[in-house]
């Protein structure tokens, strides 16, 4: 396997895992908001904010790791 192709494959897998973790955080935020008595629109807003914040944090951490490793 070509080394550049392997790097692309690893990057795609890491991106997919990152999105899955952020989606899980968003779903958990929606669940917890509903358990707290929030309305559906409010719970979805909290979930969307949790998704975006988690994704942003993961991208920053991954960017820092990439900078250290190259």
pLDDT in tens, 20-51: 999 999 999 999 999 999 999 999 999 999 99
pLDDT at 4 over 90: no
Question: Any residues with CB less than 8 A from the CB of 19 and at least 6 apart, and which?
Answer: 55
Task: State the pLDDT confidence band at 11, using cuts at 50, 70 and 90.
Answer: confident
Q: Which of 16, 69, 23, 18 is nearest to 47 (CA)?
A: 23
* pLDDT value, residue 67: 86
Instruction: Quote the pTM value.
Output: 0.86
The Cβ of residue 13 has, within 10 Å, a number of other Cβ atoms equal to 10
3-state secondary structure of 36: coil
Residue 34 to residue 44: CA distance in whole angstroms: 9
- Residue 16: its pLDDT value, please? 94
């Amino acid at each position: 396997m070509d080394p550049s192709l392997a790097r692309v494959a690893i990057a795609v897998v890491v991106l997919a895992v990152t999105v899955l973790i952020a989606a899980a955080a968003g779903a958990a935020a929606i669940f917890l908001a509903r358990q707290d008595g929030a309305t559906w629109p409010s719970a979805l807003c909290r979930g969307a904010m949790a998704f975006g914040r988690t994704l942003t944090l993961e991208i920053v951490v991954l960017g820092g790791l990439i900078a250290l490793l190259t």
